[in-house]
Amino acid sequence: MSMPSNAPEIPKGDLAGFKAHFKHDILSGFLVFLIALPLCLGISLASGYPAVAGIFTAIVGGLVATFLSNSELTIKGPAAGLIVIALGCVQEFGYTGGEDPVKDFQAYRLALGVGVVAGVYQIIMGFFRAGILVKLCPTAAIHGLLASIGIIIIAKQFPILMGLNPQGSPLELLAGIPSFVINMNPKVGLIGILGVIIVLGYSYIKNPKLKIIPAPMLMLLIVVPFGIFLGIGLEGSYAFNNQTYELGRNFLVNVPASLLNAMVFPDFSGITTETGIKYTVLFAIIGSLEGILSAKAIDGIDPWGRKTNLDRDLLATGSANTLSAFIGGLPMISEIVRSKANIDNGAKTRFANFWHGMFLLVCVALIPGIINQIPLAALAALLVITGYRLASPHEFMSVYREGKDQFIIFVSTIFGVLATDLLKGLAIGIGVKIIIQLIRGGSLFRLNAKILLERDLSIAIYLRGSIVFSSWIPLRKQLQRYLDKGKRVTLDITETKLVDRRVMSKIEEWKKKYKENGLELSVRAKKSSTDE
């Protein structure tokens, strides 16, 4: 992407950039903070962690990761995509959902130990430039994983939105949605439903002055006073339609008055158990996948076309995750919704991420009493909407348009996750991709190609068989090799059985990279060379 014509130079996240773009970055950081506060609280509670854990994560992401990564516009913090992993981890370590606070606290500390080790794994991956290995996972399987996470979030959060707390598998909870509506706690459910209406109706607001306040914060500004009026947090009960319903502090957020007292240190005794090993791998792999995808997506809409060093960003995220888990925080990634809002709000450099973390620190340190008036149902409303966006019909149609093969992998991953767990579900998606690839005549991790030097000293790469996701790394290596040598390259795919659409999109990116270096990368193709 070219630099805007009205910009004299590309903004840089150094000391000079901090001073030059202070006004833009601190304003964007403040507006992102307004979005991040309710989401951090909601994600924490949905993950089985204390509400303040997500705040710790975003603070560390802002105050630490900003100075380690070269990603200029991403916002680091807890993400909805990791809720299912975090909740699964504490549950397998004995989390009871509030029935036994002692067991819950121990499960939390054991999960923190897993988080520290997972962060160290990410640091190692960054040092050894393993970011490219994460790309081996087929995109359709990743989208299927995220869609399944969205479905699980809806299943888990909808009862809380209704003022209920049932237990069960995601499929059982989804089947119980009609009964949750019938049996909801009316006052609490009214808060949750109002929250959904406000956030969904935000796009219809035409007044630009009201639009300055982000939807999550606008929702809180309305539902918190309404919740106080209804007495949501007052201990006691009330009658409605000949039934009695309970109210009390357990329907509100609970953050401690002192951040220092809220810090909790990890217990490492569980890291060598089957549960510890399983969730260490899940946190490291899924977190890295989501973070890299988000960073690349934000690079694609950076007004100045700046590119993130993915290995350095992985190292930065891993370092911040290690510190976050040491003090009681959730895992973090580059969060795409907050990062997109950061761009929309006019951020110039990475210091917008710093200011967003600083505002969170000040807010939780100075006004915990106000935060403790937030109804849990309102946060559940935000997460139900987030889950829907991850698993929306549009997402299904988008993958279907990518081709039947991609859709089969996508759906297989969703069913795999819902029937088993995240790691097995992702493995099922990858397995289906490999089976389809072998049926199509492809080979694993080997490039079937012949490379010739043409008379004009350009390079011709004649590809054979099926060029799919696992073929991309060796092909990329060849493209990088000849780019470094300053060679013009022609990719001949006329004799391939198929070329995966994702590989073709990567080739298009490399065409631009060659052009930026004054070289040409051309493709000689037949009409039906991409998958359908």
Domain limit, last residue, from 352, 376, 400: 376
Is there a domain that residue 205 lies in? no
pLDDT at 430: 87
Instruction: Give 297's Cβ-side CA count (13 Å radius).
Output: 14
Tens-place pLDDT, residues 415-434: 999 988 888 888 899 899 88
| CA distances in angstroms from 145 to 171, 175, 408, listed in the order given | 16, 21, 13
Overall pTM > 0.85: no
Same domain flag for 38 and 81 = yes
What is the domain extent for residue 474? 449-524
Percent of the chain with pLDDT over 90: 59
Residues 324, 46: Cα–Cα separation, whole Å: 18
DSSP 468-531: -GGGHHHHHHHHHHHHHTT--EEEE-TTEEEE-HHHHHHHHHHHHHHHHTT--EEEE--TT-B-
Is there a domain that residue 238 lies in? no
Mean pLDDT on 264-269: 96
Is there a domain that residue 284 lies in? yes
Residues 150, 390: Cα–Cα separation, whole Å: 5
Same domain flag for 261 and 326 = yes
3-class secondary-structure state, position 333 = strand
Mean pLDDT on 15-33: 94
| CA distances in angstroms from 398 to 81, 287, 402, 469, listed in the order given | 19, 23, 7, 19
Domain limit, last residue, from 327, 355, 376: 376
**Confidence bin at 98 (pLDDT 50/70/90):** confident
Residue with more model confidence, 448 or 411: 411
Same domain flag for 407 and 359 = no
Same domain flag for 433 and 294 = no
Residues 362, 364: Cα–Cα separation, whole Å: 6
| Single-letter residue type at 430 | I
Same domain flag for 421 and 454 = no
Per the structure, the count of domains in the chain is 3
Same domain flag for 99 and 124 = yes
CATH code for position 466: 3.30.750.24
Look-up of token digits 């190609």:
449
Tens-place pLDDT, residues 149-206: 999 999 999 999 999 988 888 889 999 999 999 999 999 999 999 999 999 999 888 8
Tens-place pLDDT, residues 206-223: 888 778 889 999 999 999
Please list, in sequence order, all residues whose beta carbon lies within 8 angstroms of the beta carbon of residue 403, skipping any fewer than 6 positions away: 501, 530, 531, 532
3-class secondary-structure state, position 386 = helix
Same domain flag for 286 and 408 = no
| CA distances in angstroms from 131 to 90, 263, 315, 425, 473, listed in the order given | 28, 31, 10, 22, 12
| Single-letter residue type at 356 | H
Q: Which of 343-357, 370-384, 475-489, 500-514 has the lowest mean pLDDT?
A: 500-514
To 10 degrees, what angle do helices 404-419 and 393-401 make?
A: 140
Please list, in sequence order, all residues whose beta carbon lies within 8 angstroms of the beta carbon of residue 490, skipping any fewer than 6 positions away: 454, 458, 459, 460, 461, 521, 522, 523, 524
Residues 266, 475: Cα–Cα separation, whole Å: 43
Same domain flag for 269 and 142 = yes
Strands (E), 433-478: 449-453, 459-463, 465-467
pLDDT at 2: 45
pLDDT, mean over the chain:
89
Tens-place pLDDT, residues 386-397: 999 999 999 999
| CA distances in angstroms from 16 to 22, 55, 65, 199, 244, listed in the order given | 10, 29, 19, 38, 62
CB atoms within 10 A of CB 307: 14
**Confidence bin at 444 (pLDDT 50/70/90):** low
Is there a domain that residue 472 lies in? yes
Please list, in sequence order, all residues whose beta carbon lies within 8 angstroms of the beta carbon of residue 479, skipping any fewer than 6 positions away: 489, 510, 521
Is there a domain that residue 496 lies in? yes
Sign of CA pseudo-dihedral 97, 263, 113, 324: positive
pLDDT at 495: 83
Domain limit, last residue, from 376, 398, 417: 376
Q: Is the pLDDT of residue 124 over 90?
A: yes
Query: Do 75 and 85 form a contact (C-beta atoms < 8 A)?
Result: no
Helix runs in 212-273, H state only = 215-230, 259-262
**Confidence bin at 467 (pLDDT 50/70/90):** confident
- For residue 462, what are the β-bridge partners? 450, 492
HEC string for 221-238: HHHHHHHHHHCCCCCEEE
Measured in degrees and rounded to the nearest 5, phi and psi for residue 450 equal -120, 130
Same domain flag for 365 and 404 = no
Same domain flag for 356 and 400 = no
Tens-place pLDDT, residues 36-69: 999 999 999 999 999 999 999 999 999 999 999 9
Instruction: Give 247's Cβ-side CA count (13 Å radius).
Output: 20
Residue with more model confidence, 425 or 456: 425
Same domain flag for 407 and 362 = no
The full length of the chain comes to: 532
Mean pLDDT on 309-323: 94
Is there a domain that residue 164 lies in? no
Is there a domain that residue 47 lies in? yes
Residue with more model confidence, 484 or 443: 484
Q: Is the pLDDT of residue 532 over 80?
A: no
Is there a domain that residue 293 lies in? yes
| Single-letter residue type at 7 | A
Same domain flag for 455 and 306 = no
**Confidence bin at 4 (pLDDT 50/70/90):** very low
Residues 116, 45: Cα–Cα separation, whole Å: 20
Nearest Cα to 183, choosing from 233, 257, 240, 225?
240
Query: Do 392 and 380 form a contact (C-beta atoms < 8 A)?
Result: no
